Amino acid sequence: MIDLHCHLLPALDDGPATLEDALAMARIAVADGITHSVCTPHIYPGLYPHTAAVIAAALTGFRQELQAHDIPLAVSAGADIYLTPECLSALSDGRYPTLAASRYFLLEPPHHAVPARFLAQIQDALQADFIPLITHPERLDWLDETHYPWFLQAAQAGAWLQVTAGALLGGFGRHAQRWSERFAAEGLIHVLASDAHDPHRRRPELSAARARAAQLLGADEATRLVVDRPAAILAQRPPQAVPAPPGLTRSLPVRRPPGGLRRWLPRWDRPRGGRRAGAADDA
């Protein structure tokens, strides 16, 4: 499996603070069946003002440490790029890295506030020949019935959607789990990634979520989420090189099937309810 979103480089953001923790995370990833991780520290102006050059240098050092410690994990550079009006120009001039030097990049929407010009900024990126891989829509506070169609529209326009592996398993609370199941049930997930930050609570693991995705979508599509589409990105292949998620291959707009989704997701129409106390939130 390939993990496209992992805060694995030490002491760059709110990921591992030490090399020891970063190496522990790498060992966890390997034990879970991950062969390649894209190291994606936050780029967040004012808080984590990293550049492609800084991340590339950190990656080189970390790769040497992996080899020195005989940890068989391939690593590439990327970044978890917070959505700002400047991010497209920074991608275009190379200040911000894409995923493994491809045309795909991780795009992190704000967690707590509805972003202005969200779909317009997605369109701007697509027109510049970049493909946004929108991170963890299921965990956004502002995701609701009003805003869910935005992500369908973004995907129909050509963006890819990345759901957090742990969210599908309930590790980020009920809100994130229910919405991740909705994205799965409607066939709108392109990629599952760990978004791991540490070797304890937010670990770099994909296998359990892949098994859950196989229950919801079948084994072949589950494999596409953690192997085929991530591999296509690493190989710098176009989106058409891999089958689209099932919700994007239907000729009609995605609709909730009468009775079908209710049968799959019996909790769906219940009131949203509170988020689990202590559930992970940002970043």
The residues of the shown chain that bind Fe ion, judged by CB under 5 A, are 80, 195
Q: Which residue is nearest to Fe ion (CB)?
A: 80
Our CB check for Fe ion shows the closer of 23 and 280 to be 280
Nearer to Fe ion, 121 or 162 (CB): 162
The CB-of-243 to Fe ion minimum distance in angstroms stands at 26
Q: Is 271 left (phi over 0), alpha (psi -120 to 50) or beta?
A: beta
Q: What is the closest distance, in whole angstroms, from the C-beta atom of residue 46 to Fe ion in the complex?
A: 17
CB closer to Fe ion, 165 vs 185: 165
- Indicate the residue among 43 and 185 with the shorter CB distance to Fe ion: 43
- C-beta of 138 vs 195, nearer to Fe ion: 195
Least distance in angstroms from the C-beta of 135 to Fe ion: 6
Q: Which residues pair with 132 in a beta bridge?
A: 105
- Check if the beta carbon of residue 165 is closer than 8 Å to that of residue 209: yes
Distance (Å, rounded) from C-alpha 159 to C-alpha 248?
Answer: 11
Cβ at position 15, least distance to Fe ion in Å: 8
Dihedral (Cα; 202, 206, 208, 212), 10-degree rounding: 110
* Smallest separation, CB 4 to Fe ion (Å): 10
